[in-house]
């Protein structure tokens, strides 16, 4: 009885449920670089290099462990352009009894694989993805009966469940669940930000860089200076690097932005977590261990654990609870197209230019750039959620629909009516000025709102508040903003709205 064990490009974990109980002598592991997966969005070039190179390394590791692996190399003229075609072909050749796989991360492909039983005429066993700390059903049970879902309460449940940062008496370590109030410092260059972890490309990665340059030259981004890890060993070294050099300051500067530093004190571990090279529990445990060893303060460690144990699991839970309807939500009725400068970085707004430039070069921008700069602008400008979601899915090395969509559509665009977050993260240029040094390098003046040289975020912010009064006036967290708007004299309000209308009509010129 031979099984075909299908392992996808973001399932590169030796603990994968599809591999449990596998018979290396009999079963055939299938991995395939296929056009359909490489092109369902215009993946950043570095993401393609990372996934293909990591897949090839993982296949070799499986062979070293005694598995038979059928590896389908990318070829643009291959008769097999989809995973289904590869599996169908092999199932026939090997007279396989069934296909075994781990549930797939994205609704799009999951829905296809769930039809294979009928389409291929053979059993397909889909096992749960045990790498996540909360199962889909577990999350659904937690969410049942709640009108709005709040990450903080889910996170506390997860702390209790895993015991991470909990005392033996069941209390949060340090006496508080959350140290966010301590995590809002502006960074002024000191302490210096650590250099990011680097792995120089080996022969396989160099081959993938050539392949991507040859066949995906029209995709966003650059392959230049590729230095991501492509094996679990190197991803663990990246984790160690983060714990030693960045974690101690992660909390303090978590919300900071810099005109000159792309990575600050962030971990840059999402590409590895999302492709399976690292597992969430090992990452959280390493951070918690650093706190127990006195190497990092509680505000840093708790803040970091919350991102993974809290946000990462929470958004995945929401995704599977609400798809496919979630992807079509547009509760604020946005209709505007995404300005072209999101793809080129050709804008005078310094904060936007820096965030898009880092995105282009690195396939990376940190959370506050995604949320409070490129995301905030899209929210204020009323960009259609689908267009901005498509952009986020394409441009980041860590982008997968299950994590990108709730973050963009829910957290940033508030297009789900507040199901994921209690209020939109709308902010004027003042916030960006407070948390970064971009404004001093910008042609726009962050202290102005109505003038020709005024920071576009300012008038757009008030326009957003004005046009969405009916949506938010009952929200207690937004009352003060509305009061501030209503307190301004009528002429000033009209001038602000006129400036905002001009900006909205001229987005491409900004």
Give the binding site for ligand FAD (CB under 6 A). 266-270, 273-274, 304, 307-308, 311-312, 315, 366-367, 370-371, 375, 392, 396, 398-400, 403-404, 407-408, 411-412
Contacts of 110 (CB under 8 A, 6+ apart): 103, 104
Q: Residue 409 touches which of ligand FAD, ligand DLZ, none (CB < 5 to 8 A by kind)?
A: none
Q: Which of 109, 246, 278, 412 binds ligand DLZ (CB under 6 A)?
A: 109
- The token pair at 506 is 């001229």
What is the secondary structure of 367-396 as a DSSP string?
A: HHIIIIIIIHHHHHHTB-HHHHHHHHHHH-
Verify binding: residue 172, ligand DLZ, rule CB under 6 A. Answer: no
Can you state the percent helix, strand and coil of the chain, rounding each to 5?
Answer: 55, 5, 40
Q: Which is nearer to ligand FAD, 72 or 384 (CB)?
A: 384
Binding window for ligand DLZ (CB under 6 A); candidates: 105-113, 127-135, 182-190, 412-420 = 105-113
Verify binding: residue 339, ligand DLZ, rule CB under 6 A. Answer: no
Verify binding: residue 413, ligand DLZ, rule CB under 6 A. Answer: no
User: At its nearest, how many Å lie between ligand FAD and the CB of residue 462?
Assistant: 23
Please identify which residue in the block is written with the tokens 């060893």: 293
CB contact at 8 A, 411 and 421: yes
96: exposed, middle or buried (Cβ count in 10 Å: 0-12, 13-18, 19+): buried
Q: Which is nearer to ligand FAD, 349 or 405 (CB)?
A: 405
What is the secondary structure of 150-185 as a DSSP string?
A: -HHHHHHHHHHHH-TTB-TTSPBGGG-S--GGG--P
Q: Residue 342 touches which of ligand FAD, ligand DLZ, none (CB < 5 to 8 A by kind)?
A: none
Q: Residue 99 touches which of ligand FAD, ligand DLZ, none (CB < 5 to 8 A by kind)?
A: none
User: At its nearest, how many Å lie between ligand FAD and the CB of residue 417?
Assistant: 17
Please identify which residue in the block is written with the tokens 């769930």: 114
Q: Which residues of 460-483 are buried (b: 16+ CB within 10 A; e: fewer)?
A: bbbbbbeebeebbeeeeebeebbe
Q: Residue 367 touches which of ligand DLZ, ligand FAD, none (CB < 5 to 8 A by kind)?
A: ligand FAD
Verify binding: residue 8, ligand DLZ, rule CB under 6 A. Answer: yes
Q: Which is nearer to ligand FAD, 84 or 261 (CB)?
A: 261
Q: Which is nearer to ligand DLZ, 104 or 351 (CB)?
A: 104
- The token pair at 179 is 């140290």
User: At its nearest, how many Å lie between ligand DLZ and the CB of residue 48?
Assistant: 5
User: At its nearest, how many Å lie between ligand DLZ and the CB of residue 9?
Assistant: 3
Q: Which of 4, 5, 30, 48 binds ligand DLZ (CB under 6 A)?
A: 48
Q: Which is nearer to ligand FAD, 270 or 450 (CB)?
A: 270
In angstroms, the Cα distances linking 151 to 68, 255, 471 are: 42, 18, 22
DSSP 22: -
Q: Which of 320, 400, 419, 444 binds ligand DLZ (CB under 6 A)?
A: 400
Contacts of 130 (CB under 8 A, 6+ apart): 15, 17
Integer Cα distance of 20 and 251 in angstroms: 38
Residues in the chain: 510
Q: Which is nearer to ligand DLZ, 105 or 317 (CB)?
A: 105
CB contact at 8 A, 317 and 328: no
Binding window for ligand DLZ (CB under 6 A); candidates: 27-35, 140-148, 217-225, 375-383 = 27-35
Name the site residues for ligand DLZ (rule: CB under 6 A).
8-10, 32-34, 37-38, 43, 48, 51, 83, 104-106, 109, 400
């Amino acid at each position: 009885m031979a099984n075909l064990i299908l392992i996808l490009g973001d399932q590169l974990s030796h603990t994968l449920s599809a591999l449990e109980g596998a018979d290396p002598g009999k079963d055939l592991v299938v991995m395939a670089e296929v056009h359909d997966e490489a092109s369902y969005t215009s993946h950043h070039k570095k993401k393609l290099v990372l996934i293909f190179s990591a897949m090839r390394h993982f296949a070799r590791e499986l062979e070293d462990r005694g598995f038979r692996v059928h590896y389908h190399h990318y070829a643009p003229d291959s008769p097999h352009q989809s995973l289904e075609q590869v599996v169908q072909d092999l199932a026939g050749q090997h007279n396989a009894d069934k296909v075994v796989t781990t549930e797939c991360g994205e609704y799009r492909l999951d829905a296809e694989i769930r039809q294979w039983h009928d389409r291929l005429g053979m059993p397909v066993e889909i096992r749960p993805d045990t790498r996540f700390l909360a199962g889909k059903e577990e999350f659904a049970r937690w969410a049942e009966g709640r009108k709005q879902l709040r990450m903080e309460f889910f996170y506390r449940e997860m702390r209790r469940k895993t015991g991470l940062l909990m005392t033996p008496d069941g209390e949060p370590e340090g006496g508080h669940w959350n140290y966010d109030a301590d995590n809002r410092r502006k960074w002024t260059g000191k302490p210096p930000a650590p250099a990011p972890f680097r792995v120089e490309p080996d022969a396989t990665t160099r081959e993938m860089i050539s392949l991507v340059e040859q066949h995906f030259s029209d995709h966003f981004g650059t392959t230049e200076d590729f230095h991501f890890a492509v094996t679990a060993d190197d991803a663990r070294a990246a984790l160690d690097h983060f714990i030693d050099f960045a974690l101690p300051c992660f909390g303090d500067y978590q919300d900071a932005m810099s005109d000159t530093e792309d990575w600050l004190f962030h971990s840059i571990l999402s590409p590895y977590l999302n492709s399976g090279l690292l597992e969430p529990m090992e990452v959280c445990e390493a951070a918690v261990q650093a706190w127990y060893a006195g190497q990092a303060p509680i505000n840093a460690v708790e803040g970091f654990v919350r991102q993974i144990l809290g946000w990462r699991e929470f958004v995945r839970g929401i995704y599977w609870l609400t798809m496919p309807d979630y992807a079509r939500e547009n509760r604020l009725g946005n209709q505007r197209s995404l300005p072209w400068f999101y793809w080129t970085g050709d804008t005078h707004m310094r904060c936007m230019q820096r965030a898009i430039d880092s995105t282009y070069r690195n396939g990376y921008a940190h959370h506050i750039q995604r949320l409070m700069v490129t995301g905030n602008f899209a929210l204020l400008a009323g960009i259609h959620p689908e267009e901005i979601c498509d952009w986020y899915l394409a441009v980041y090395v860590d982008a997968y629909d299950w994590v990108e969509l709730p973050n963009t559509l829910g957290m940033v665009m508030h297009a789900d009516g507040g199901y994921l977050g209690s209020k939109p993260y709308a902010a004027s240029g003042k916030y960006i000025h407070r948390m970064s040094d971009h404004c001093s390098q910008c042609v726009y003046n962050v202290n102005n709102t109505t003038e020709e040289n005024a920071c576009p975020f300012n008038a757009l912010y008030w326009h957003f508040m004005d046009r969405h009064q009916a949506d938010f006036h009952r929200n207690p967290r937004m009352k003060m903003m509305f009061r501030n708007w209503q307190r301004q004299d009528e002429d000033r309000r009209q001038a602000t709205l006129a400036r905002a209308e001009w900006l909205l009509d001229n987005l491409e010129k900004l």
